[in-house]
Amino acid sequence: MSNFFETDIKFLKGVGDARAKVLASELGVATFRDLLYYFPFRHIDRSRFYAISELSGTDMPAIQIKGQFINFHTDGEGARKRLIGVFSDGKKMMETVWFSKITTFSTAYKPGVDYVIFGKPTLFRNAYSIAHPEVEIYDASKPPTGFRGVYSITETMRKRGYTTRLLQNLVFNLLSHPGYEGITDTLPPEVVARYNLMPLKSAIRQMHFPENAQMLQKAMERMKFEELFYVEAHILRYSMERGSKLPGFLFAKIGDKFNGFYFNVLPFQLTGAQKRVLKEIRADMKTGRQMNRLLQGDVGSGKTMVAFMSMLMAVDNGCQAALMAPTEILAQQHFASLTEWARPIGVKVALLTGSTRAAARREIHAGLLSGEIDIIVGTHALIEDSVQFHLLGLVVIDEQHRFGVAQRGKLWHKSEKVPHVLVMTATPIPRTLAMTVYGDLEVSVIDELPPGRKPITTLLRYDSNRMEVDRLIFRELRAGRQIYIVYPLIEENEKLDLKSLEEGYQRTCDTFPGYRVCFVHGKMKPAEKDHQMDIFVRGEARIMVATTVIEVGVNVPNASVMVIENAERFGLSQLHQLRGRVGRGADQSYCILMGKIKSGADTKKRLAIMTETTDGFLISEADMKIRGPGDMEGTQQSGLAFNLKVADLARDGQILTRAREAALAVLRGNPSLLAPGCVATPAMQGDMTPLPVDHFWVSVMASELSMRFARTVDWSQIS
């Protein structure tokens, strides 16, 4: 009965042409299926009347209470004026509150009349109140409407008189449509049976009109499973096709350059993790298939060396390699390290950035085309059309999150044959997320820091501890160390933030006279910013006052203190990244989180996690749990092929695991089951068509998501 699903929404009882247009343009609901899958964003319990004494906890659903208004009075002045109605259920009293239309509401409800008030109770000063409740006269003949969904509707719709109730009615009409009984399940029957899932027909019904909490839960589980099943099927299928279709360079041997470097030049012992990752990369590059690998390693874990040695594998096999960095300074740092390592073994490294002069640029272009240059390090300048390679075999992208999709695609097309790709990031991706999104991309992890590093001491301090913090900074300055002081910069509050940053700069200069302080923020001209960064990197400035523009990956081993102001305004992952700027030398380093003494318990708990662990994975998982799924929204705009509607990667890890297992089984058994048109859910609509063979697709979507995850607010302001 697929034509039931495809039926134009205008044919639904209660819709018609005009409403159909609004539903399509405002909600993207154009067919019966769209509406069936337009699930409520929250549910309300109108299955019974609650007693005021039953209210508990801080996260009550919206509920209804039957009773009478005892009196009305106003409180507060001017903009804070509000109307308070005291409501009694016969046993206990509570307040209802209105912040607007005060005169209207103060006379709207009569004493002695039984009303039903409805809304979400909030706890304030130990008492519950309901703000702007829905109020109706109690009607004993009206049966309880049960558990229902609340639908999100747009402002435009609201203005045109659309309500959640109208949508409820429309959904109700649709569920009563004789065609609905005939719908077929979107999951293979074996899967439904094996995983004990609620059949689609009941699940959709329960999502909109739950009988009770248990049924709703079961329905949710089913819809989440379905969504994740198709996402996984999609990724797995892509990966199977790609695996069989995409040939890559075959780097058969480990040659002289690699060995010469390894035995004679390598300035330290590789860590066990570095060795393991190099083996993984080596194994990939000798399969004859194109490598698409993500290398995750905490800040300071030594990813650059892994990149360099992988590049030597390419060079030993007659290919060139490119290392692309997001900023000029980072490219320069990489160039300096790589040149030092490469010179003794006769490997030629060049640097190409936006500021490379024309003459030098021409020379580099020629060297790349002739193959004289083995390794090129650079910024966006590498993807200009004039840059052509003799034979590019490996591309390493460092701290990928700041390249746009199109830019990466461009670098890609520089090579006739698809080069191997290694994307390096210090952003730890939670395991559940990695599994879904990196379904195709292989992931390597460096989970060990080079020896001899002292763990960073993380302290949570408040304004009242300023003196103590200043003393610590003084002590480190006198010992010759360098200091970072970081301020948040959140766009909505830009002016205010800039002011606090400037004040912080002034205060720092006043407090530590005799030490040069540099100043960096995202609104600066790039040249000025580079200059400020540069004097810090060279040690001329001893303190840097900055917003989070502090370059990802910048290596100043002499820096030993990271002070983060208004730490409560940063995400945990971001704090972790910032903390990673220190602790790169052999000295004890400190990360000082300046918190607000008045912050809530949750905020304090969050910051305390930072003082308890330096494990980036634990931190990112905690972060994701705390922030919840909201931050995962918007994945669609970023070019992700899917956008989860019901599932929540932070919480639904177990469902994900089962869904993936099921998808794999189905694909192995009978991939045609998942052919386009055979099944469809809104999550996957249009997505089941074969993907364009864009080799960067998976790494792009992975990195875009990790970018969202890292949520480093003002990076976008830099370039």
Positions touching ligand ADP (CB under 6 A) are 268-271, 274, 297, 299-305, 426, 450, 553, 555, 584
Q: Which is nearer to ligand ADP, 36 or 426 (CB)?
A: 426
What gap in Å lies between CA 242 and CA 698, rounded to an integer?
11
Binding partner at 305 among ligand ADP, Mg ion, none, C-beta below 5 to 8 Å by kind: ligand ADP
Q: Which is nearer to Mg ion, 270 or 665 (CB)?
A: 270
| In the complex, least distance from residue 268 CB atom to ligand ADP, rounded to whole angstroms | 4
Binding partner at 297 among Mg ion, ligand ADP, none, C-beta below 5 to 8 Å by kind: ligand ADP
Check if the beta carbon of residue 446 is closer than 8 Å to that of residue 294: no
Within 371-493, residue ranges assigned H as helices are 405-412, 431-437, 466-478
Binding partner at 450 among Mg ion, ligand ADP, none, C-beta below 5 to 8 Å by kind: ligand ADP
Check if the beta carbon of residue 83 is closer than 8 Å to that of residue 74: yes
Binding partner at 146 among ligand ADP, Mg ion, none, C-beta below 5 to 8 Å by kind: none
- The alpha carbon torsion through 561, 562, 564, 570 (nearest 10 deg) reads -150
Residue bearing tokens 């480190």: 476
| In the complex, least distance from residue 304 CB atom to Mg ion, rounded to whole angstroms | 5
Binding partner at 367 among Mg ion, ligand ADP, none, C-beta below 5 to 8 Å by kind: none
* Beta bridge partner(s), residue 183: none
Q: Which is nearer to ligand ADP, 338 or 364 (CB)?
A: 338
Q: Which is nearer to ligand ADP, 317 or 574 (CB)?
A: 574
Binding partner at 585 among ligand ADP, Mg ion, none, C-beta below 5 to 8 Å by kind: none
Per DSSP, the chain holds a count of helices (H) and strands (E) of: 24, 22
Binding partner at 43 among ligand ADP, Mg ion, none, C-beta below 5 to 8 Å by kind: none
Chain position whose Cβ is nearest to Mg ion: 553
Which string of b and e fits 529-553 if b means at least 16 CB within 10 Å?
bbebbeebbeeebbbbbbbbbbbbb
Among 428, 553, 616, 682, binds Mg ion (CB under 5 A): 553
Q: Which is nearer to Mg ion, 289 or 401 (CB)?
A: 401
Binding partner at 432 among ligand ADP, Mg ion, none, C-beta below 5 to 8 Å by kind: none
Binding partner at 302 among Mg ion, ligand ADP, none, C-beta below 5 to 8 Å by kind: ligand ADP
What gap in Å lies between CA 532 and CA 534, rounded to an integer?
5
Q: What is the DSSP string of 283-350?
A: HHHTSSB--EEEEEE-TTS-HHHHHHHHHHHHHHTT-EEEEE-SSHHHHHHHHHHHHHHHGGGT--EE
| In the complex, least distance from residue 304 CB atom to ligand ADP, rounded to whole angstroms | 3
Give the chain's radius of gyration (CA, Å). Answer: 30
| In the complex, least distance from residue 41 CB atom to Mg ion, rounded to whole angstroms | 40
Chain position whose Cβ is nearest to ligand ADP: 302
Residue 24 is given by DSSP the state I
Stretch in the footprint of Mg ion (CB under 5 A) among 460-468, 495-503, 549-557, 638-646 = 549-557
| In the complex, least distance from residue 270 CB atom to ligand ADP, rounded to whole angstroms | 5
| In the complex, least distance from residue 445 CB atom to ligand ADP, rounded to whole angstroms | 12
Q: Indicate the SS3 state at residue 187.
A: coil
Residues constituting the chain: 719
| In the complex, least distance from residue 269 CB atom to ligand ADP, rounded to whole angstroms | 6
Q: Which is nearer to ligand ADP, 396 or 610 (CB)?
A: 396
- C-alpha distances in Å from residue 441, one per residue of 166, 235, 243, 408, 700: 45, 10, 11, 16, 10
Q: Please give the structure tokens belonging to residue 492.
A: 């909505």
Q: Which residue, among 698, 699, 309, 334, has the nearest Cα to 552 in the 3D structure? A: 334
Binding partner at 387 among Mg ion, ligand ADP, none, C-beta below 5 to 8 Å by kind: none
What gap in Å lies between CA 228 and CA 226, rounded to an integer?
6
| In the complex, least distance from residue 483 CB atom to Mg ion, rounded to whole angstroms | 21
| In the complex, least distance from residue 568 CB atom to Mg ion, rounded to whole angstroms | 28
| In the complex, least distance from residue 319 CB atom to ligand ADP, rounded to whole angstroms | 22
Binding partner at 300 among ligand ADP, Mg ion, none, C-beta below 5 to 8 Å by kind: ligand ADP
Binding partner at 301 among Mg ion, ligand ADP, none, C-beta below 5 to 8 Å by kind: ligand ADP
Residues 6+ apart with CB under 8 A from 143: none
| In the complex, least distance from residue 400 CB atom to ligand ADP, rounded to whole angstroms | 13
Q: Please give the structure tokens belonging to residue 285.
A: 């590059």
Q: Which is nearer to ligand ADP, 402 or 584 (CB)?
A: 584
Q: Which is nearer to Mg ion, 12 or 397 (CB)?
A: 397
Q: Is the dihedral of CA 123, 125, 128, 134 positive or negative?
A: negative
Q: Which is nearer to ligand ADP, 399 or 530 (CB)?
A: 399
Check if the beta carbon of residue 393 is closer than 8 Å to that of residue 248: no
Q: Which is nearer to ligand ADP, 383 or 426 (CB)?
A: 426
- C-alpha distances in Å from residue 297, one per residue of 52, 66, 330: 53, 58, 17
What gap in Å lies between CA 18 and CA 1, rounded to an integer?
26
| In the complex, least distance from residue 508 CB atom to Mg ion, rounded to whole angstroms | 27
Q: Which is nearer to ligand ADP, 200 or 575 (CB)?
A: 575
Stretch in the footprint of Mg ion (CB under 5 A) among 115-123, 131-139, 468-476, 551-559 = 551-559
Q: Which is nearer to Mg ion, 188 or 553 (CB)?
A: 553
Q: Residues interacting with Mg ion, by CB under 5 A?
A: 553
